[in-house]
Amino acid sequence: MATIQTQDPQIDVRHQDAMCTNESQLKHPWWHNLKYTLVGIIFGITFVKAEIISWYRIQEMFQLTSFHMYGVIGTAVVVGAISVFFIKKTRAKTIYGEPITLDDKKFNKGQIFGGLIFGLGWAITGACPGPLYAQIGAGFGVVFVTLLSAILGTWVYGYFREKLPH
């Protein structure tokens, strides 16, 4: 597993707690990003059709009255883990021929404190960040307020980051 050693402070800042900080050496025109939009569309349709964006499904999950959400997340993790295993084993490359890199995450207390805070909000809003976008698209306009507030929460975290225990 490659760990990225970089001297570039720009990359280091992005690297903090981020899910994705890989630096492609390739330059693409902007419309190459539309392939990610296509993946997002399929993902968003799935979120709505499997009712993952439903506030009721989230309540069921936390009241342990339905297997549905556990089935979704459990299946996704198994499929994802098998895929990652084969990508590592075959040293698969991207469609542009670049190596696929997977970094190890470092433990910090934020994963506990932040995770608990996230969970509190998740049960109230009935949505984690993905479903927020899908709910807005599905016509639940008021959820835009929730998304704005989540962005504000992200900003406030950034503001107080140095003072918080990690």
Partner 1 sequence: MLELLKQPWHWAVAGIIIGLTVPTLLILGNKKFGISSSMRHICAACMPANIPFFKYDWKKEVWNLFFVAGVLIGGFIASTFLSNPEPIQVAQATKERLIEWGIQDFQSLLPTEIFSINSLLTLKGFIFFVVGGFLVGFGARYGGGCTSGHAIMGLSNLQLPSLVATISFMLGGFFSANVILPLLFKLF
For partner 1, the binding residues in 62-91 under the rule CB under 8 A are 62-63, 65-69, 71-81, 83-84, 86-87
User: Per CB under 8 A, does 2 bind partner 1?
Assistant: no
User: Per CB under 8 A, does 4 bind partner 1?
Assistant: no
What is the nearest approach in angstroms of partner 1 to the Cβ of residue 134? 4
User: Per CB under 8 A, does 6 bind partner 1?
Assistant: no
DSSP H helices, the chain, are 9-15, 34-49, 55-63, 68-89, 110-125, 129-137, 143-160
Binding mask 142-161 for partner 1 (x = CB under 8 A): xx-xxxxxxxxxxxxxxx-x
Instruction: Give yes or no for a contact between 166 and 110, defined as CB atoms under 8 angstroms apart.
Output: yes
- Near partner 1 by CB under 8 A: residue from 7, 29, 36, 89: 36
- Near partner 1 by CB under 8 A: residue from 45, 90, 91, 163: 45
Residue 93, C-beta contacts closer than 8 angstroms, at least 6 positions apart: 99, 100
Binding mask 106-135 for partner 1 (x = CB under 8 A): xxx-xxxxxxxxxxxxxxxxxxxxx-xxxx
Q: What is the rounded CA–CA span in Å between residue 60 and residue 66?
A: 5
Q: How many CB atoms lie within 10 A of CB 146?
A: 19
